[in-house]
Amino acid sequence: MKLLILEFEAADVIVDDLLEKLLLPTEADIQLQYIEYKMEENKIADLDNFYHKEIKRTEDKIHNFISMTTLLNQEQSKTVLLFLMYIKYTYSGFFAVDILDKVINRFWFQFK
């Protein structure tokens, strides 16, 4: 995280990847992905097939997220929150409007 702060602009997609890893997935994300898929493909997707695949993928992501976060102690988790808040207030213009709020509010807020 220190390197990302010192060389933020050079870090480019590393920060995006990190935010994705720090975001607790939810089932609501599946609906958003379906809408995006429908718009990209310009067709109506097979809902059953889509939801079964995405639910499994989301469950796997949730399990991975829980496995990752349980390795951190309270201080380390608080450090992650402080890092996210720093990025939000310093570089918010680099990201989609609400991604940093989502990352913080879905899980990391509890370490204030």
Q: Rounded mean pLDDT of the chain?
A: 81
pTM: 0.73
pLDDT tens-digit series, residues 63-100: 999 999 999 999 999 999 999 999 888 887 888 768 89
CA pair distance 12, 2, nearest whole angstrom: 15
pLDDT, greater one: 49 or 75: 75
Output the pLDDT for position 45: 55
From 21-30, 37-46, 94-103, the region with the lowest mean pLDDT: 37-46
Cα–Cα distances in Å, from 107 out to 29, 61, 65, 89, 112? 15, 14, 10, 18, 11
